[in-house]
Amino acid sequence: MVSFALFEQCRHAMTTTKQRPASTKKEPSTRAKRTSRKGPPPLNAQEVLGALEGEYAPFPWEARYDATSEVVFTILSQHTSDRNSERAFARLMERFETFEELAAGDVQVIEECISIGGLAKIKAPRIKQVLNLIIERCGNLDLSFLREMPLDDAKKWLKELPGVGPKTAGIILCFSLGMPAMAVDTHIERVVKRLGLVGPKTTVEKAQDMLEEMVEDHQVYPLHVALITHGRQVCKAPRPLCPRCVLEERCPSRPGFEKQEALRVKKREAAVAAKKKAEAKVKAAASKKKLQASGSRARSVPAGRGQTGQGQTEQGREES
């Protein structure tokens, strides 16, 4: 039986170390694609990790969730915020004591529990389906046997489950089972493409395989955390903070972003100048109008008099 309590305990914990099982993978490749003929060569994965470790380490490892929790949570987190999926998962845990109960649960009840996470009508039957499929294939809901499989086979096994893609498989294997699997999310994909570690058109699945090959097994998890942290804090989308980046000297994307930034500054300055000019024009027009108004008032009053139009007429009559 897989307890929901374990999920809660591990939900935000990524702070202690744990031994990883050995892998049979070949020697890591440290080659990175050169994206420009000018300037220093781009960093390889080992160098990137070394530099980022200096900024963000340590990256201690601990099982985040048990593998089954991770599968359920992943389904809940599709097309919604972390907050909502966490709430939906918490409600599910309150209602069902074990995943076995959840697997046997009523779809409508599951749907009600997870409604806060959105797309409950799709996610509820999906969760039930996946759990029952695991029971059908394994006889229970314990996925720890994957740890004993070769990495590629374990990935394949997981990806055969509905709703489990390469990223989810990577997360389950790396975070739940301590295997040297890379999970490439949107932050990591952006950073490794900007750094030229993988090509701009490389798929997430291919990038995962490539990154796994670039470092030692024990470096896969630190590389994942280092890249994701860097992507969130410095190499942001759409505007990376290159001047604050520890990798900037050898990042092939930096010159392009610097040009964009210079252009933005130029445009901002031009906009400010144009605004000032327009304001000055309006001001000048207003004072011209004011001058004209006072000029015409002065012309309509005969010099030395100050009498009304009627007074002038009467006086004129007397004089005649």
Q: Where does this chain bind ligand SF4 (CB under 6 A)?
A: 194-195, 234-235, 240-242, 245, 247-248, 251, 253-254, 257
* Residue among 244 and 266 whose Cβ is closer to ligand SF4: 244
Considering the complex, state which of residue 155 and residue 187 has its C-beta at the smaller distance from ligand SF4.
Answer: 187
Shortest gap between Cβ of 292 and ligand SF4 (angstroms)?
Answer: 57
What single letter denotes the amino acid at residue 291? L
Instruction: Tell me which DSSP letter residue 163 carries.
Output: T
Question: 36: which 2 tokens?
Answer: 């420009």
- DSSP letter at 304 equals T
* Beta carbon of residue 216, minimum distance to ligand SF4 (angstroms, whole number): 22
Give phi and psi for 3, each to the nearest 5.
-85, 145
Q: Name residue 160's amino acid.
A: E
Contacts of 73 (CB under 8 A, 6+ apart): 7, 65, 85, 89
- Rank residues 180 and 240 by Cβ distance to ligand SF4 and give the closer one: 240
| Shortest Cβ 243–ligand SF4 spacing (Å) | 8
Residue identified by tokens 């960093």 is 43
Is the peptide bond prior to 243 cis by the omega test (within 30 degrees of 0)? Answer: no
| 185 Cβ neighbours under 8 A, 6+ residues apart | 167, 228
Determine the straight-line distance between the first and last CA of the chain, rounded to whole angstroms. 122
Q: Single out the catalytic residue among 123, 128, 155, 167.
A: 167
- For residue 98, the cross-strand partners are 3
Judged by beta carbon, residue 221 or residue 257, the one nearer ligand SF4 is 257
- Shortest separation between residue 211's beta carbon and ligand SF4, angstroms: 15
CA distance 114 to 80: 12
CB of 219 to ligand SF4, least distance (A): 18
80-91 core/surface letters (b: 16 or more CB in 10 A; e: else): beeebbbbbbbb
- Distance, CA of 234 to CA of 249 (rounded, Å): 14
Q: Is 281 a catalytic residue?
A: no
Tell the smallest beta-carbon distance from residue 154 to ligand SF4 (Å). 31
Q: Which residues are catalytic?
A: 167
